[in-house]
Amino acid sequence: MKRILTLLFILTPFVLYGQSVEEQVTEKLEVFVKESRVPGLAMSVSQKGELVYSKGFGYADLEAEVPVDPAKTQFRIGSVSKTVTAAGLALLYEQGKIDLDVPIEKYVPMWPQKKHKITLRLLAGHLAGIRHYKPGEFQSSKNYPTVTDGLAIFMNDPLINKPGTEYSYSSYGWNLISVAMEKANASGGTFLQTGQDFLQFMQESVFDALEMNNTVAEDMLKEWPNRTKFYVRSSRGNESGVRLAPVVDNSYKWAGGGFIGTTEDLCKFGQAHMKAGFLKQSTLDEWMRSQKMANGKDTNYGIGWRTYKRHDGNTYYGHSGGSVGGSTMFLIHKDSETVLAITGNISNLSYNGIYFDLIELFIDK
């Protein structure tokens, strides 16, 4: 009788609520979509290489009522592009083509002389003193045919602090990283020097290698039939309070915020970073390990990976991403080999930490 009572106690929550984890997640997301008034949202979760949850909510195109498909609908992943680019940087590092700690001029001779030297490690950890966006730059609609062309935006500006002394977030630092990757790789004779080497390398060595079949650099000169429409909130919008976002061209920051993709692709990417295989274990450890400022304080940011330490003791690695018409969160939990990717097609969508609540449902399952 005691064993029966104990079993009933254990099962009671499930009997009372009658919901699986998947049903609980769907219910929470349906409430979130309704309350946040996001036009379209996708979320995918994978564990130990298997997709355990993947669902779309709302519309990729409000007017045409095209539903979101987490397997196909391409969202702007914003600064999660940094984490994706970091995988390409890691490959070049393992091939011996990149040294993280030499002056950037070794790879980018055109970089103008500054008061202090900067390195790829500092750039990748937002410690290099490179500025972030000035007003209006985030909404740029100018096309930059090459990653080198994009340097013109900031390369002649002074450093905002002494490298290594202060964490200061900068998407432009990743522009410089992409140029260094392109030059270092081209010098090895792997690709033709067409000005598109960085994108070719990322496509073949990361996206294709990990079967991320719906992740690409968002080239505004091409048509992307599966790309969502992008929205912003507006009192001048329709009854849902949104309107189409202004047209932007993210070619000025491909490496730091210019990729589009699906939540299912991000799950593939996350699973490849759980343990050695795609990359060496030593590289994974180094890339996710927090860098330190000169005063010894952790930044909670490694090489394209942010660390999230939760009050319940769980530690996650990943990145958030904000774009014009896009809001993304990408997390991995290494102990349980769980990945969560969630993205919406509207600017400045506040998730209010719901992604932690949702991933923990799967971790505790």
Report the alpha-carbon distance of residue 79 to residue 84 in Å, rounded.
9
Q: Domains of the chain (ranges plus CATH)? A: 2-363 (3.40.710.10)
> Which residues is 58 bridged to in the sheet?
40
Q: What are the structure tokens assigned to 327, written together?
A: 């809001």
Sign of the CA dihedral with 259 first, then 264, 268, and 273 last: positive
Query: Which residues, in sequence order, are CB contacts of 243 under 8 Å at separation 6+?
Result: 231, 232, 234, 236, 237
pLDDT in tens, 37-67: 999 999 999 999 999 999 999 999 999 999 9
Q: Give per-10-residue mean pLDDT for the chain (365 aa).
A: 40 54 97 96 98 98 97 98 98 96 97 96 98 95 94 97 98 98 73 62 96 96 95 73 95 96 98 98 98 97 97 95 98 98 97 96 87
Q: 176 exposed, middle or buried (CB, 10 Å; 0-12, 13-18, 19+)?
A: buried
The tokens for 294 are 């000169």
Per-residue pLDDT tens over the stretch 247-294 = 999 999 999 999 999 999 999 999 999 999 999 999 999 999 999 999
- E strand residue ranges, the chain: 40-47, 50-61, 66-67, 75-76, 216-217, 231-233, 242-244, 259-261, 306-309, 315-323, 326-333, 338-344
The pLDDT of residue 240: 64
pTM of the model: 0.92
